[in-house]
Structure 1
């Protein structure tokens, strides 16, 4: 699982954003599931989308995304309510992002 996080968001340029927008309707959002502390969900992006995401969004292996700040994952077209934090990527399926937020989160 990825564990590197940037200190400041790296926002997409207009041309990067334009290329990524064609994939936005293809995301698959899991149902929410929870434990006593967090609720979780995962978001599956199209595998082909990984080829156009800027290289500096990836960790040292070049295959797995770094942990993205909210502005970054929203910039990729992921839409969900407030409070979600990108906490991991399952390395065998790097197109699937893992999110969590506290149970009973109130903005």
Structure 2
């Protein structure tokens, strides 16, 4: 399930301060689904308030589909969506364009868990010496 780069802006389009201010009123109304998964990815969908779509700049939209483009992380964070690092916007639910679909690679999650456990060891940690 690869991301089609033609469905994104060529590079992240940052919001102007005035654009961001228009979206502030909606941030507390963004709904995050429970997570669900398969053997490769963890998924969740994020439901934006329908009225919020009217305040998002036009160049965030795919005119041919009438939905938001696939957003870079900088773009969806600028809209007020908050998630941990590693989530990727991979699809928009076209019948309900205010619903954005995200995925998170399970291998990324396992790597982060291993790294986190390594950093939790005491600074004076010495591995066991084989006998």
TM-score by length of 2: 0.77
Bigger helix fraction:
2
Higher relative contact order (CA 8 A, sep 6+): 1
Q: Is 2:57 aligned against 1:38?
A: no
Name the count of aligned residue pairs. 106
TM-score by length of 1: 0.93
Specify the alignment match of 1:103 in structure 2: 106
| The structure with more radius of gyration | 2
Specify the alignment match of 2:30 in structure 1: 27
Q: Any unmatched runs of 5+ in structure 2?
A: 116-131
CA contact (8 A) 1:20 1:52 kept: yes
Q: Any unmatched runs of 5+ in structure 1?
A: none
Specify the alignment match of 1:14 in structure 2: 17
